[in-house]
Amino acid sequence: MKLTPLLAALLLSASLSACVWAPGQHLRSSDISKDRPSDDGRLELIPITPKLIAMNQAAQTEQTLPAALLDFQPDAYRVGKGDILYITVWDHPELTVPAGSQQQGNLAGRLVQADGTLFYPYIGKVQADGKTPGQLRDEITQRLAKYVESPQVDVAVLTYANQRVWVTGATANPTTISIGTAPMTLSDAISQAGINPSEGDLSGIKLTREGITYEIDLERFAQQSGGRQIHLKAGDNIYVPYLDRKEVFVVGEVGQPGAYNFRTGDISLSQAIGRARGLAQITANGNAVYVIRGARDLQQEPSVIYQLEARSPGAFAVASHFHLQPGDVVFVGAAGITRWSRFVNQLLPFTGIISNAASASNDLEN
């Protein structure tokens, strides 16, 4: 029992320290602000207010893509080496399918050889590489007219071998896609490859053309372009990034803390809290909702902590317009009574140890 006053002193001291110092639970604007930074000069605390929302919206700019990319219009398709063509001469099946009607599919077509030519009955070799199907049709018609009266010729491409684009990354089927006679758009290629909805990030599509990489937010582009499309060029590489690099983290007094990714260009603070099942009603401190945004270079610029005072329902109207960035950490602090309860729960085992030590000391003295 001699240690009872000491135990009381320890409890009093701990309770005072718990009241005045609770690490990471609550910050005040007077502690850290633009005018009064933290001791190391690398933190700023900024309240989330309608004025801040308006300033952020005014600072946002539309997605701008180079005119060379937006204005590109593909030329008419030109036959290339390795293409397989189906050449029809109406009313002359012996010329259309010399081996007979039983020969179907690509076997009935004519392969453009490595030297760019193909062989056709009566007229022999025809230079096909580099010509459009229409130009090739006119040449075959002209040369065949010496042997067939008023020939009616049609040229179609069965297999496109030389004009392709590549789609890789978070797609259901990373593949090579051939560009046909109809122009192909960026959306067409991604649709053919199949976006993986649980992994693909449509807001960060990377299109590489002739050594230059363009980053495209498809959702924003669709909203701003008025139906305009981005046409592809043979040799283009399209990469669909994975969502694992586009996450926000929600921790603290929420229903389900964790990392949450998003496929669109951004996610609001209220959406992130909603995915985490909202604030814990019993334990959360409504005035301790923070967004921690680290700086890329702490030596050049400070990290920023945004604070939302979420005690009133109206605060979430503001939160719905505050957009998070990948890597942001949303932290919800605990209420004062919750911090005290946790402190007591952590302290009780130590008071048991002290009591046992006091009892052992008394036994020894007796």
Tally of domains within the chain = 3
Q: Along the chain (366 residues), what's the average pLDDT of each consecutive run of 10 residues?
A: 45 42 44 44 79 78 78 90 91 74 62 92 92 94 92 91 89 86 90 81 89 88 82 93 84 91 80 91 86 75 82 79 89 75 58 53 52
Q: CA dist 328 to 16, 24, 105, 320, Å?
A: 33, 16, 55, 16
Which phi and psi angles does 147 have, rounded to 5°?
-120, -25
Q: pLDDT at position 338, please?
A: 61
**Are residues 289 and 213 part of one domain?**
no
Question: Which of 249, 250, 252, 248 minimizes the C-alpha distance to 26?
Answer: 252
Q: pLDDT at position 314, please?
A: 74
DSSP state of 272: H
**Are residues 148 and 90 part of one domain?**
yes
**Are residues 238 and 190 part of one domain?**
yes
**Are residues 320 and 251 part of one domain?**
yes
Q: Which domain holds residue 323?
A: 31-61+246-334
The answer to whether position 35 is within a domain reads yes
* End-to-end alpha carbon distance in the chain: 12
CA distance 333 to 257: 12
For every residue of 168-190, DSSP letters joined together read EESBSS-EEEE--SS--BHHHHH
Q: Which of 220, 243, 266 is the last residue of a domain?
A: 243
Question: Which of 352, 346, 288, 337 minimizes the C-alpha distance to 14?
Answer: 346
Q: pLDDT at position 137, please?
A: 95
Q: Which of 139, 159, 179 is the last residue of a domain?
A: 159
State the CATH number of the domain containing residue 187. Answer: 3.10.560.10
